[in-house]
Amino acid sequence: MSAAGLTRPTSDFRSDTLTRPTAAMREAMLAAEVGDDVLDGDPTVGRLEACFAQWLGKQGALFVPSGTMANQVALGVWTRPGDEIVVQRWAHVTTFEAGAAGYLHGLQSITVGDLLGSMPADEVAAAIRPRYEHCPRTSLVCLEQTHNMAGGRVAPYAELEEVSAIARAAEAKVHLDGARLANAVVASGVEARRWAALADSVSVCLSKGLGAPVGSLVAGDAEFCAGARLVRKRLGGWMRQAGILAAAGLYAFEHHMQRLEQDHALARDLATRLAGIDGIGCDPGSVDTNIVMARIEGAGEGTTVAELSAALEARGVRALPMGAGLLRFTTHLDVGPADVERAEAELRALLER
Ligand SMILES: Cc1ncc(COP(=O)(O)O)c(C=O)c1O
């Protein structure tokens, strides 16, 4: 039974975006004071934006419909067509935003690092172009914390600090894709505002581990926010009585932040179990937060990751094939210890028969 009181026939580990609002969150949404956020401002949206701006130590924040839009708003503010941005090789901005950096803003990207989410300082330094009229201008360096494709990795503070310093020395801005920054804060004990101080703009998602149904914020100083309002408008991201959604975000901020530790513990437990199954490569020591990447090594003759995940789904357990032989499991509000036991048992049944 999920928190919303609806039975789940499957144990669904595909994404932490799957969570449905709890009964208490729905009550908060129902009670939300709302207004037209485009005309006069919506009071609940205003409270949400102030809450996240304070948490991140920034002058302001803007509520937007999605993490993708939050990132693209930042790209739109900091760059002009023909610029180049430096991005981690498997970052969401370059891998999963459908080429929006080029399509929307006329940018080209130069990527650094590996599948483990690294952002080597020497590679970043080498990627930044000299100020020379034949070269594109490097206007932005993008960070991602936690790193999705790297299995929710929390980059060490010193690693991001060094990259941020290199970018700023080259007069490039820094954007932090913090879709899951709350997970990084809980896992690392490093405050959100310290991570955010490494960047000129930060995006955070409410609809992932925090368990709200919709929404993200993008934060920065007052000048950034003015630019961000314009880009959000151009992208069609203005919302009217959005307080009903912002109320879910405020509820999530107050009630679902600390419980992320439970998701992290469950992910470590799952990884330990998966590591013990023949044909799965999984390092529990690499699980920092709520994402477990299982490398399917010996799924049987002719069995691909997609085939394995389909067979698993037929047994009531869902995980996300990510390409490169990886199957992603994510822990969240709507899965618990019984789902983890089920995942282990069904994978054993499939791989060890
Ligand atoms: C690191 C990261 N950034 C941005 C996003 C985009 O969020 P949305 O799906 O709300 O557009 C995601 C989504 O999974 C993500 O993992």
> Is the residue at 17 inside a domain?
no
C-beta of 290 in contact with ligand 1 (< 6 A): no
**Confidence (pLDDT) at 21:** 97
**Confidence (pLDDT) at 2:** 45
Give me the phi and psi of 268, to 5 degrees please: -65, -40
C-beta of 144 in contact with ligand 1 (< 6 A): yes
The tens digit of pLDDT for each residue in 275-319 reads 999 989 999 999 999 999 999 886 554 578 989 999 999 999 999
Q: Counting Cβ atoms within 10 Å, is residue 281 exposed (0-12), middle (13-18) or buried (19+)?
A: middle
C-beta of 262 in contact with ligand 1 (< 6 A): no
Q: Which residue among 196, 231, 255 closes a domain? A: 255
Q: Which residue among 238, 255, 272 closes a domain? A: 255
Within this chain, do residues 183 and 266 fall inside the same structural domain, yes or no?
no
The tens digit of pLDDT for each residue in 24-37 reads 999 999 999 999 99
C-beta of 67 in contact with ligand 1 (< 6 A): yes
Rounded to an integer, the average pLDDT of 30-49 is 97
Q: Which residue among 255, 270, 298 closes a domain? A: 255
- C-beta neighbour count of 159 within 10 angstroms: 17
pLDDT value at 87 more than 50: yes
The tens digit of pLDDT for each residue in 185-236 reads 999 999 999 999 999 999 999 999 999 999 999 999 999 999 999 999 999 9
**Cα–ligand 1 centroid distance for 165 (angstroms):** 25
Structural domain total, the chain: 2
**Confidence (pLDDT) at 324:** 76
Given phi > 0 = left and psi -120 to 50 = alpha, else beta, which region is 211? left
> Is the residue at 14 inside a domain?
no
Compute the distance between CA of residue 89 and CA of residue 150 in angstroms, rounded to an integer.
Answer: 10
**Confidence (pLDDT) at 304:** 84
Q: How confident is the model at residue 38 (pLDDT cuts 50, 70, 90)?
A: very high
> Is the residue at 4 inside a domain?
no
**Confidence (pLDDT) at 353:** 73
pTM across the whole model: 0.95
Give Cβ neighbours of residue 145 (< 8 Å, ≥ 6 apart).
154, 155, 160, 176, 177, 178, 180, 181, 184, 195
Segments forming the whole domain that contains residue 294: 259-351
**Cα–ligand 1 centroid distance for 352 (angstroms):** 34
Compute the distance between CA of residue 345 and CA of residue 14 in angstroms, rounded to an integer.
Answer: 17
Which of 66, 92, 142 has the most ligand 1 atoms within 8 A of CB, as the residue to mutate?
92
- C-beta neighbour count of 131 within 10 angstroms: 10
